[in-house]
Amino acid sequence: MEVYKRTPTDKAPSDRFTGDAWWDVIYAGSEPSQARLNRVRFAPSARSDWHTHTLGQTLHIVSGVALIQSRGGEIVEAHPGDTIHTPPGEEHWHGAAPDTFMEHLALWEGTGDPRVPETDWGAKVTDEEYGGPRRSTRA
């Protein structure tokens, strides 16, 4: 058994996020594990840029109101206890609603190949995209 000490919180970089977000690395597996688990906390209106995960990603909403959108779909408004999976290569973004903080756990995997990135980053999410139509998981 191993006990991991809490790691310092890192600010999400502004070239990949809009607004203020911070993450804590909870677990980053070493070979043969490729597991990755982060806790991410977003200020109101903060969100990631558009991106894909080579092996997909699972988000578990801990607190607040999350907005998550895949390319071509409507924005999903997700709530604490909801779990949202984006499959490998599906372009998406995630962040907080405009009027509240949001915290989620993010689970994904490394590729095991340093030439193949875990995440590919794309365009910023515009205010127009961020303000688009939503459907709630509580509908």
CB of residue 53 to Mn ion, shortest distance in Å: 6
User: How far does CA 33 lie from the centroid of its chain?
Assistant: 20
If binding is defined by CB under 5 A, does position 18 make contact with Mn ion? no
CB of residue 57 to Mn ion, shortest distance in Å: 5
If binding is defined by CB under 5 A, does position 45 make contact with Mn ion? no
Instruction: Output 45 or 57, the one with its CB closest to Mn ion.
Output: 57
If binding is defined by CB under 5 A, does position 57 make contact with Mn ion? yes
Per the CB < 8 A criterion, the answer to whether 52 and 90 are in contact is yes
Stretch touching Mn ion by CB under 5 A, among 12-20, 49-57, 96-104, 128-136: 49-57
Contacts with Mn ion in 70-129 (CB under 5 A)?
Answer: none
If binding is defined by CB under 5 A, does position 69 make contact with Mn ion? no
d(CA 99, CA 81): 19
Closest to 101 in 3D by CA, of 62, 57, 50, 49: 62
d(CA 94, CA 52): 11
Residues that bind Mn ion (CB under 5 A): 57
